[in-house]
Structure 1
Amino acid sequence: MEVTNQTTVTEFIFLGFPGIFYLRLTLFVMFLTVYLLSLMANTLIIFSVVMEPSLQMPMYIFLGNMSFLEIWYTTLTVPKLLATCLSRGVTISVSGCKAQYYFFFSMGATECILLAVMVYERYLAICNRLRYSLLMSIPVCLRFSAGSWIRGFISPLLPSILISHLNFCGPQKINHFFCDSDPIYKLSCSDTFLVEALSYTCSSVVILSSFLLTMSSYGHIAVTTIRMSSQEAWRKAFSTFASHLTVVTINYGTIIFAYVCPPAKYNFTIGKVVSMFYCVLTPLVNPLI
């Protein structure tokens, strides 16, 4: 009888982006600049909302929540991305990788739900102006905010528990810059069918349900905006509508491509490029818009 020795993997190695050192150094400077700008922009929004009484209203409270989320969302992945640009041997422990997976998808789910809530708030402000103060009071706003965080952190809990029980016996190289779902499944020597199916289902439900709620609110906003007789009111409503739609298009366009409509065979290069949009660029674009 043939005996096969399996060595339990205790850490993973991120491969990051290939290329000569000078190219990776250029990427490092670019990513670091975007990261620092994102931190400053989101911190400024939080500081403004907290310190300025006139901004302590539902729209800006939601923006403050989103900015707080973006700071942690980028900090969870970008430091490792920067490290892979300077070194080819960046490691993370298996337990740290599983934790990163959970928090990454928790914050991603929270962002989707918060975006849907923010658009709903704009729907009430534009389409139900007379009842807005009743339907979206500060206590209601705070409940919506808390509910978004709670639902976001519950959504990936079951897949994360299943991933925590996966075994890894080698290889230990992750062809990515963070612990994304598909690269983890590829490295496991356990049966991943159940966790893959559950993870895909949870991601699809959260992303598509929040996307449909967002589009439904946008539909009502568009109809109300078109019916406005005042040119000034139409201009203000359209300005808000267009800026929100830009954020939603960038965010949902990338995550639907990555987690709802995955290719039959996962392409690591495309996966890393798409990941850059929602890990690095979107957190900077959101506060600017």
Structure 2
Amino acid sequence: MLSFLASLPSPTIGRLSIGPVGLSAYGLMIALGVVAGTALASKRFEQAGGGSGEELQGVATWSVVGGLIGARLYHVATTWDQFADDLWRIPMVWKGGLGIPGGLLGGIIVGVYVVHRRGLELPTVLTAAAPGIALAQAIGRWGNWWNQELFGRPTGLPWGLEIADDKTPAGFGDAVLFHPTFLYESLWNLGLCVVLVAIDRYRPLRPGRLFAVYLAGYFAGRFWIEGLRIDPTHTIGALRLNQWVALVVVTGALVFLAVDARRNRRHRDDGSHGGAARSLLGDASPSQR
């Protein structure tokens, strides 16, 4: 079906010009992702009866700020050798360099604080936000395509990614094609968004639990996609640092879901037993109560 493809080209520029205004394509993709993800989350929040969409948008605004800071700090901390001799590069996020694990952590911390301050129900916010975050990531990943960064190892597949000579890693020929890991992750996140919406519609979980499903789903995909990448990073044993992070998060999310489900079943069983006992007492005479 894809035999007509010879390769997937990369853009020759990383900035878009609108009259006298220059705009980073990387930043534009992130902004579009934030807008789309917030719109979806706001709509779901209203449908769940958690409050108005404007309330959710206010939370999202602060979460995005916290997420950007956390993502940049994570990237800087894990690639410090790239910044040690030029600290002015640290705030230059438009050139790329955002670590999603740090972004999620920063966004969650700030988001939880804002939700608490505004008196909203955190489980409802988390359930509404989960598919929106996946959608935002699906769109934002295209920023890596514009920057020609974070691609995978060489491939002969018909959708192999072309990379400009000046961005091709040393040791690879000019005609080499690479795995478009940005595309893999974008499609994975888009699929995850659809699955999360379907779960919430047809097999709804208790409030807040859908966010744990999102974490497990996202980092499961991130684990195998990360294994394709060839950009320099810290490794521990045979795995890249982000793969270890993914393993920890997936394990934690699955353990939480399993323990929570078991606790909920036990609670229901205790409730049904208590109801049966009350029924028996209700049938007894007053002297036996």
Q: Give the TM-score, by structure 1 length.
A: 0.36
Compare the two structures and name the one with the higher helix fraction: 1
Q: Give the TM-score, by structure 2 length.
A: 0.36
The structure whose RCO (Cα within 8 Å, separation 6+) is larger is 1
Q: Mark the structure with the bigger radius of gyration.
A: 2
